Amino acid sequence: MISAEFRAVLHQLVTTPPHPAALGFRLDHVDTDGAVLAVPWREDLVGDAGSGVLSGGVVSSLLDHACGMAVWTALKTFQPIATLDMRIDYMRAAVPQREIFARTHVFRLTRSIAFVRGLADDGDPADPVAAVQAAFMLNSDGGRRAGANLAGTRP
Amino acid sequence: MTTAQAFADALAVSPYAGFLGVEAVSGSSDRAMMRFSPPLVGNPLLPALHGGSVAGFMELTATAALTAATQGTQGRPKPVDVSVAYLRSARPADTHARAQIRKVGRRIAYVHVLAWQEDEAAPVAEMTAHFLLADLDSTNN
């Protein structure tokens, strides 16, 4: 069970960070089993002009973000996390001009690492366009404060 | 067309490359730059670029390098799988990438991409990817 307050936070984490907002990400569904994110089709996000197919990079962004959402859902709280590693298999090209969905879940949570899997589809979950497996570091800020990345030394 | 021209063209004609602000480094056939812009940010507090911005940039660089290297001889490269390792948080700054084509076979190519910001020796991410160059079952893709 996810509280209304936490659901509101999760919704914000999909729609307000600049990159997801610029791509038009939407939180389609979230429960304790994981998250479903969607990215609407847009002409300026196509990889090959004229193909009408969203670039693989857009699908990568959506899967990365959806994996992060699954981690917060599994943790039942918000904390800084960082993608360590992400592997995506592209099984087929998406149908031109279709919205893409990413469905992700945490299959193992340890003290330091969350292991996440998911699938992307263009409307039918039984016919995926891509699969993802990713590992996330938990509490990734290591005590670094906001703005740490702007300082002179490399984190 | 020279390989460098084909590499620059492959990025210039991609709407998504335009969205990210990705362009070829002049005269190069394997190096690209993603100019910083606020929509690339994933974590506004740290602040850090979104992992998806960096992954998308590296994927575009790999695809353009392969398109340039195989121009006219093979079909459009389609990604089969990509694997990204994130090594450091990427700052709100220009990002660079270099693609290295490790193997081009008759049907499959394997590419490595390194992405960095101020120091190439301190990369922010690495990517390896397989691409399909010629599809035997063209109805399937």
- Residue A143's pLDDT band, with cuts at 50, 70 and 90, is low
Domain ranges of chain B: 3-140
* Tens of pLDDT, residues A73-120: 999 988 989 999 999 999 998 999 999 999 999 999 999 999 999 999
- Residue A154's pLDDT band, with cuts at 50, 70 and 90, is low
| Token pair of B16 as six digits | 């998504």
The yes-or-no verdict on residue B141 having pLDDT over 70 is no
A&B contacts, CB < 8 Å: 146
User: SS3 sequence, B50-71?
Assistant: CHHHHHHHHHHHHHHHHHHHCC
* Tens of pLDDT, residues B87-97: 999 999 999 99
- Choose, out of B84, B119, B120, B140, the residue to mutate when testing the contact with A (most A CBs < 10 Å): B84
> Bigger pLDDT: B110 or B139?
B110
Question: Residue range A126-137: average pLDDT?
Answer: 97
CA atoms within 13 A on the CB side of B33: 12
Q: Long-range contacts made by residues A42-49, C-beta under 8 angstroms, separation at least 24?
A: A43/B15, A44/B15, A44/B16, A44/B18, A44/B19, A45/B15, A45/B16, A45/B19, A46/B14, A46/B15, A46/B16, A47/B14, A47/B15, A47/B16, A47/B60, A47/B63, A48/B13, A48/B14, A48/B76, A49/B13, A49/B14, A49/B15
- Say if the Cβ atoms of B50 and A57 lie within 8 Å: no
Say what the pLDDT of residue B135 is.
66
Q: Which helix (H) or strand (E) holds A32?
A: none
Q: What is the residue-averaged pLDDT of chain B? A: 92
The reply to whether ipTM tops 0.90 is: yes
- Looking at the partner chain, which of A61, A89, A154 has a beta carbon nearest the beta carbon of B50? A61
If one looks up domain B3-140 in CATH, what number appears? 3.10.129.10
Topology (CATH) of A4-143: Thiol Ester Dehydrase; Chain A (3.10.129)
Domain ranges of chain A: 4-143
